[in-house]
Amino acid sequence: MPDVIALGQPTVGEPELAAIAEVFASGWLAGSGPACKKFEERFAAAMGVQHALTTSNCGSALHLALLTLGVKPGDEVIVGDYTFPATGHSVMWTGARPVFADVRPDTWTIDPAVVESLITPRTVGIIAVDVCGQPADYDELRAIADKHGLFLMEDAACSAGATYKGRPAGSLADVAVFSFHGRKGITAGEGGALVTDRADLAAHARKLHTYGVEGALTRAELSKLPIPVFDELGYNYRLSDVQAAIMLAQLDRLPDLLAVKRRVAARYGELFKEHELITAPFEAPDREHPWQAYVVTLDRAVNRGEVAMALRERGVQCTFGTYASHLQPLYGETSPCPVSADLFERHLAIPMHANLTDAQVETVAATLIQVVDELATGRAN
């Protein structure tokens, strides 16, 4: 069995260990402490917004964002279809209904023309997903949202470090959410963040993410003994200070991690450009892609499942791209999203992380090309 080339892998080491040691020495390991506050300030600045709130994961950030925007049972929220179902789930957590919109065939992000066609009197907002980190068409989406009086949310789970027309991901909508899961560009293993320029949304989200009261750090800074009053249902959606310390170190690494992954993506693109059965992902010219994942589109002449199993047998980890959400039984009857459904069948994610060596990139590409050629020849015969 050859050495396995990992699909995704965090870049962590001494800076993260030193940051954790500092938190241990402080004695404050719980959520929403000094390390969280420091990370929130730095992360907001890096994402080009005024406010950031750390959360236990991206799903909790999605839920908080929708609650603060006033989404309620009976409402409809239009959601980019090609996404991990956390996006649609979060709408359902509020009692509202996700309405899935098909995506562009090139960037895989929500198609603004489809969005316009799905708006009804019950529609209250739009959630655009930055698929694999590449931002959606926010100027067009903002125009639609403003025309119909809707909110616009950016699911930036994968897009830390991305840009759209020179503006950083996270600053492109009324509110944005990020993930710090282990496969994301910067990671604490788990965690998330909500970012916004709206002070009202940030304050309300901060209250809701700590059971509906002010956090312990805020209370500790007061000159009197505060007795919290619970007047609104809240949740325990806090990030621990240990995780926040890791994220501070990861944020320092972000420029270098992005540079390495962009080189890897460029090399993959060169190696696949002449192959008729493998299409490399498209990067829109007005965007900077952070390459949280590298997903190729396979021709229908080959079976994606057979390709994946053959790659794994040869030591190359891989998986499907993401979900065509409208096909999941949980959501019941939905409108068809043919582009998303096609991508769901043909996408294959191959190794992409900042620890890949040049030799590993060459091996991954050569192995994929060899497997595809073998399977295509076998099917032709």
pLDDT of 228: 86
Strand 123-129 relative to strand 151-155, pairing? parallel
In this structure, are residues 143 and 20 in contact, taking their beta carbons and an 8 Å threshold? no
pTM for the whole structure: 0.95
Can you tell me the distance from the alpha carbon of 42 to that of 7, in angstroms, rounded to the nearest whole number? 29
What are the structure tokens assigned to 226, written together? Answer: 């505060």
In this structure, are residues 133 and 185 in contact, taking their beta carbons and an 8 Å threshold? yes
pLDDT of 2: 65
Per-residue confidence of the chain (381 residues) as pLDDT tens digits? 568 999 999 999 999 999 999 999 999 998 889 999 999 999 999 999 999 999 999 999 999 999 999 999 999 999 999 999 999 999 999 999 999 999 999 999 999 999 999 999 999 999 999 999 999 999 999 999 999 999 999 999 999 999 999 999 999 999 999 999 999 999 999 999 999 999 999 999 999 999 998 766 665 666 677 788 899 999 999 999 999 999 999 999 999 999 999 999 999 999 999 999 999 999 999 999 999 999 999 999 999 999 999 999 999 999 999 999 999 999 999 999 999 999 999 999 999 999 999 999 999 999 999 999 999 987 655
Can you tell me the distance from the alpha carbon of 198 to that of 13, in angstroms, rounded to the nearest whole number? 36
Strand runs labelled E in the chain: 51-55, 76-80, 97-101, 123-129, 151-155, 163-164, 167-168, 175-179, 192-196, 278-279, 287-288, 294-298, 347-350
Strand 347-350 relative to strand 294-298, pairing? antiparallel
Q: How deeply is 21 buried, as exposed, middle or buried, from its count of CB atoms within 10 A (0-12, 13-18, 19+)?
A: exposed
Can you tell me the distance from the alpha carbon of 250 to that of 253, in angstroms, rounded to the nearest whole number? 5
Count Cβ atoms below 10 Å from residue 309 Cβ, excluding itself: 13
pLDDT of 245: 98
In this structure, are residues 77 and 71 in contact, taking their beta carbons and an 8 Å threshold? yes
**For residue 360, which amino acid is it?**
Q
pLDDT of 108: 98
pLDDT of 361: 98
List, in order, residues 6 or more apart from 201 with CB less than 8 Å away. 51, 65, 68, 69, 174, 175
